Amino acid sequence: MLNRRNFLTAAVGVAAAGALTACAKSDEGSSGTSDSAGGGGKAISLGFSQVGSESGWRTANSDSVKEAAKEAGYTLKFSDAQQKQENQISAIRSYIAQKVDVIAFSPVVVTGWDAVLKEAKAAKIPVVLTDRSVETSDESLYVTLVGSDFTAEGERAAAILEKVLATAGHKGEVKIAQLEGTTGAAPAIERAKGFKTVMDRDHKDDWKIVVSQTGDFTRAGGKQVMAAFLQSNPDINVLFAHNDDMAIGAIQAIEAAGKKAGKDILIVSIDGVKDGFVAMSEGKINAIVECNPLLGPQLMDVVKKVHADEKVERWIKTEESDYTQDQAKAALPTRKY
């Protein structure tokens, strides 16, 4: 797998349209101007396969892609893979058959892409990864990745938990429950890795992950898994959730169990969607590490450069921030996602 820390970074965006596969949800539409093709000629056609619509972050990401593509004047063919890799592979093959100019996608999982990426390369269609990375035997099969450093996000979550514990005046053993993202997905793998790196380095004697399971990045999953956690480990005092939606679902389970989220169980999550900020302003989430979903404008810029056969950085990184309760209250009125 490529070492994400060895590259520079940025962000992505796209716009909506395009019929796709029978097994994936799709919407159709197009917009284009002669200028979008670089001065005369037809508009750039972009095939974009989204991983799904599992969270508030993903919805904001899809909206950003669609709006940015429309503004850029690109013809966008957009498909929702409903969190199934086979749907994404079918969508990419459909884009190849339609001879789009550029293909972009946010991979459901890390592995299993070589065959379809080789088909795109054989068709001379450049591929851009958005949000998530892949493991491949040949890194030339895609041009660049536009997204975040998930390992760094996990490290930052551990660092901000230190501050949360200090603010709460917590003493003694820290018993952590971890709500993981979709099994095999890059953010789940790398956020867990980053968090554990800091924990093992700085807190091997006082922090312990007592239970960890996937909640599939959904609120329903977070609620269901957290309820099970509380049954098997009622003395949990910290929750690390790989995204805000799972944290919000977990809050429902915590309150149903007669406990206070943000007090009896301290919560740190990742994403920074508006509902997460609301929960944080209410003191139910203690801190959030931001992962910016508004990748559309940067993606459109990358697509233009790739279509013109210009060189781009191997990894284009998004800007991120950490937020605590007071910062959430201040930012909430202007929060767009």
What is the per-residue pLDDT across 39-61, written as a single tens digit (0 to 9) for each?
446 899 999 999 999 999 999 99
Residues 87 and 93: their CA atoms lie apart, in Å, by 10
In this prediction, residues 281-306 reach a mean pLDDT of 97
Q: What is the pLDDT of residue 19?
A: 32
Question: For residues 324 and 287, is the Cβ–Cβ distance under 8 A?
Answer: yes
- pLDDT band of 17, cuts 50, 70, 90: very low
The pLDDT of residue 318 is 86
CA distance 286 to 263: 9
For 155-172, the pLDDT digits (tens) are 999 999 999 999 999 999
pLDDT interval class at 13 (50, 70, 90): very low
* Residue 29 predicted with pLDDT over 70: no
Better-scored residue on pLDDT, 92 or 337: 92
Q: Which residue reads 């990184």 in tokens?
A: 317
pLDDT at residue 336 in the model: 84
Q: How far apart are the first and last CA of the chain?
A: 31
Residue 18 reports pLDDT greater than 60? no
Measured CA to CA, the distance from residue 267 to residue 177 in angstroms comes to 10
pLDDT digits (tens, 9 = 90+) for 189-209: 999 999 999 999 999 999 999
Is the model's pTM score more than 0.85? yes
Q: What percent of the chain has pLDDT over 90?
A: 83
Per-residue pLDDT, 7: 32
Q: Which residue has the higher pLDDT, 214 or 331?
A: 214
What pLDDT is recorded for position 38? 45
Give the whole-angstrom CA distance, residue 57 versus residue 51: 12
Span 92-149, pLDDT tens digits: 999 999 999 999 999 999 999 999 999 999 999 999 999 999 999 999 999 999 999 9
**Closest C-alpha to 88, from 182, 214, 224:** 182
Give the three-class secondary structure for 139: helix
Q: What percent of the chain has pLDDT over 70?
A: 88
Q: How far apart are CA 200 and CA 337, in angstroms?
A: 33
More confidently predicted of 74 and 18: 74
Q: Identify how many contiguous H helices and E strands the chain contains and give both numbers.
A: 10, 13
Average pLDDT, the chain: 89
210 secondary structure, DSSP code: E
Q: pLDDT band at 316, cuts 50/70/90?
A: very high
Residue 281 pLDDT exceeds 70: yes
Q: At what angle do helices 274-281 and 56-72 cross, to 10 degrees?
A: 140
In this predicted model, what pLDDT tens digit does every residue of 216-270 receive, in sequence order?
999 999 999 999 999 999 999 999 999 999 999 999 999 999 999 999 999 999 9
Asked whether the predicted pLDDT for residue 27 surpasses 70, the reply is: no
